[in-house]
Amino acid sequence: MSPTQEHWLQVDNYLSNLRKSLPHMPVEEREEIVREISAHIRECAQEPGSSIDNVLKRLGSPESLASEYGHDRLMRRARRSFSPVLILRVTLALARRGAEGFALFLGTLVGYTMGGGLVLTAILKPFFPRNVGLWIGPGVFDFGFRVPLHSGPVHEVLGQWYIPVALGAGYLFIWLTTSGIRWYLRRSRQRGPLFTGRGLAQTV
């Protein structure tokens, strides 16, 4: 059955709502998405046995479709970025979508926490020289911030050298975490979507 004028008005309303649900991106990119979805709807509507209602139902609500495109855009940015903030945003979004995403977010959080903690202790070393360092003694090997519990044979071995060592180790943790997540996201793109949703951002 050929689409009626009422059906095309329904499509226009859908596209208008989709446009309103894609505010946080460049205008050119938003309009390209709207044109892409419009062409997809018109193409599918011409297939035998298809209808505008069925096509729109498969697409889902404009809000959910916009969310898929938002996730896809965030993933593409993260694959090219070295920003820990962006990497955390992406893994947090993926954590809401399943166990694999949660594990990815947890690993990212641990890596950045360790790296950031080491950098912080390097900054604190000049202010708390007796509490920050590499502490060695019988049964003791503490790297970082330590509150002495007793005056046993435990001593700090790095002195002010702790600062460059901790800074280097901290930045290494941050770099390894960021590079690992970027590699994982690129690999997931090659083997298919990490998390099953509608997947429309990749298929239409």
pLDDT at 81: 87
- State the average pLDDT over residues 112-141: 88
pLDDT at 194: 44
User: Rounded to a whole number, what is the distance in angstroms from the first to the last CA of the chain?
Assistant: 23
Q: Is the pLDDT of residue 198 over 50?
A: no
Q: Is the pLDDT of residue 113 over 90?
A: yes
Backbone torsions φ then ψ of 3, nearest 5 degrees: -65, 140
CA angle 189, 193, 198 (to 5 degrees): 140
pLDDT at 157: 85
Task: Decide if 38 contacts 79 (C-beta within 8 A).
Answer: no
Q: Is the pLDDT of residue 196 over 50?
A: no
Most confident region among 56-65, 106-115, 148-157, 190-199 by mean pLDDT? 106-115
Cα separation, 131 vs 174, whole angstroms: 24
- State the average pLDDT over residues 141-157: 73
What integer best gives the mean pLDDT of the chain?
Answer: 83
Structure tokens at 42: 């018109």
- State the average pLDDT over residues 182-200: 61
Minimal CA–CA distance to 27: which of 15, 19, 39? 19
The conformation of residue 191, written as its DSSP 8-state character, comes to H
Most confident region among 175-179, 194-198, 200-204 by mean pLDDT? 175-179
Instruction: Name the amino acid, one letter, at 134.
Output: L
Q: Is the pLDDT of residue 190 over 80?
A: no
Q: Is the pLDDT of residue 150 over 60?
A: no
Structure tokens at 187: 């690999």
pTM > 0.95: yes or no: no
Q: Is the pLDDT of residue 200 over 70?
A: no
Query: What pLDDT digit, counting tens, does each position of 14-65 carry?
Result: 899 888 888 778 888 888 889 999 988 888 878 887 788 888 888 888 888 8
pLDDT at 178: 94
At 46 the three-state DSSP class reads coil
Query: What pLDDT digit, counting tens, does each position of 129-141 carry?
Result: 888 888 887 777 7
Q: Bridge-partner residues for 143, per DSSP? A: 134
